[in-house]
Structure 1
Amino acid sequence: ENFRARKEEHIFVTSVVSCCPAELKQEVNGKKETLRGFNIKLQDTILFPEGGGQPDDRGLIGEVPVLRVKRQGPDALHFVASALEEGQEVRLKVDWDRRFDHMQQHSGQHLITALADKMFGYKTTSWELGHQRSTIELDTPSVTPAQLQELEEAVNEKIRAHLPVSVQLLSVDDPALEKVRSRGLPEDHAGPVRIVSIVGIDDNMCCGTHVSNLSHLQVIKLLGTEKGKKNKTNLIFLAGNRVLKYAETSYNTERSLVSLLKTGPDEHVEAVDRLQKSVKLLQKTNLSLLRDLAVLIAQNFKNDPQKGNFFSLHKKEGDNEFMNIIANEINTEETLVFLTVGEEKGPGLFLLAGPILFVLTRVLELLQGKGAGKNGRFQGKANSMARRGEVEALLRRRCQHGISQEE
Structure 2
Amino acid sequence: MSVVMKSAIVGALACQRNSFTLDRFNTLVVSCEAKKDKRGKTEGYEIELQDTILFPEGGGQPSDSGSLKIVERNNDSLVIKKVVVSHVSRSGLHAKHHVNELIEPGTTVEITVDAVKRMDYMQQHTGQHLLSAILKRKYEVDTVSWSMGGIITEKRAVLEPSDYFNYIELSRKLTEDEVTEISGEVNELIITFPQKIKVVERFSEDDADTINTSKIPDDYDLSKGILRTIHIGDIDSNACCGTHLKSTFQIGSILILSNQSAVRGSNSRLYFMCGKRVSDYAKLANKILLDSKILLSCSETQMPDKITRQGKQLQQSNKREQYWVKKLAHSVSEDLKNTLENSENKRAYFMEEECGTLELLQQIYKEINIFLKEGCEVYEIILCGYERQTSTGSLIILSESGDKISSLTAKLGSMLQNLKGGGGKKGGKWQGKITSISNAEFAAVTDYLSHDFISH
Give the TM-score band, short-chain normalised.
Answer: 0.7 to 0.9
Task: Provide the residue aligned with 1:239 in structure 2.
Answer: 274
- How does 1:113-152 map onto structure 2 within 5 Å? 113-131=132-150, 132-140=164-172, 142-152=173-183
Give the C-alpha shift of residue 21 in structure 1. 1.1
Alignment correspondent of 1:98: 117
Q: Which residue of 2 aligns with 1:86?
A: 105
Q: What residue in structure 2 maps to residue 255 of structure 1?
A: 290
| Distance 1:66-1:136 versus aligned 2 partners, 3 A rule | same
Instruction: Note closer, same or farther for the CA distance 1:2–1:268 as it changes in structure 2 (3 Å cut).
Output: farther
Cα shift at 1:197: 0.9
How many Å separate the matches in 1 of 2:117 and 2:36?
23
Q: Which residue of 1 aligns with 2:348?
A: 311
What amino acid is the match of 1:284? Answer: K
Aligned-partner Cα distance in 2 for 1:24–1:129: 29
Q: Equivalent residue for 2:238?
A: 204
> Is this contact kept in 1: 2:261–2:270, CA < 8 A?
yes
Out of 284, 297, 320, the position equivalent to 2:332 is 297
Contact 1:2 1:211 in 2 (8 A): no
Structure 1's 216 and 301: CA in aligned 2 closer, same or farther, altered over 3 A? same
Query: Cα 1:314–1:120, aligned 2, differ >3 Å: closer, same or farther?
Result: farther
Counterpart of 1:31 in structure 2 is none
Q: In the aligned structure 2, how far is the partner of 1:45 from the partner of 1:24?
A: 26
Q: Say if 2:133 and 2:236, in contact at 8 Å, map to a contact too.
A: yes
CA RMSD, aligned part only?
Answer: 3.1
1:93 Cα deviation after fit: 0.7
Report the secondary structure of 2:255's partner residue.
Answer: strand
1:7-406 matches, within 5 Å, as 10-23=23-36, 36-62=43-69, 63-131=82-150, 132-140=164-172, 142-160=173-191, 161-175=193-207, 177-189=208-220, 190-223=224-257, 224-303=259-338, 307=343, 309-315=346-352, 316-319=356-359, 320-328=362-370, 332-341=376-385, 343=387, 349-362=394-407, 366=413, 367-371=419-423, 377-382=428-433, 384=435, 386=437, 393=448
TM-score normalised per structure 2: 0.76
Structure 2 gaps of 5+ residues are 1-15, 70-81, 151-163, 414-418
TM-score by structure 1 length? 0.85
**Percent of aligned positions with the same letter in both sequences?**
27
Cα contact 1:58–1:67 (8 A) shared by 2? yes
Structure 1 288/329 Cα, relative in aligned 2: closer, same or farther at 3 Å?
Answer: farther
Change (3 A) 1:373 1:113: farther
Larger deviation, residues 78-87 vs 298-307 = 298-307
Secondary structure in 1 matching 2:396: strand
Evaluate the alpha carbon distance shift between residue 332 and residue 136 of structure 1 in structure 2; reply closer, same or farther with a 3 A threshold. Answer: farther
* Aligned mates of 2:64, 2:86 — CA distance in 1: 9
Question: What amino acid maps onto 2:357 in structure 1?
Answer: E
CA distance in 1, matches of 2:398, 2:122: 65
Shift of 1:148: 1.8
Greater mean deviation of Cα atoms: 228-237 or 178-187 = 178-187
The offset of 1:293, in angstroms, is: 0.8
Say if 1:197 and 1:52 are closer, same or farther in 2 by CA, change over 3 A. same
Distance 1:371 1:272, change over 3 A: farther
Instruction: Classify 1:124/1:383 alpha carbon distance in 2 versus 1 (closer, same or farther; 3 Å).
Output: farther
CA distance in 1, matches of 2:42, 2:255: 38
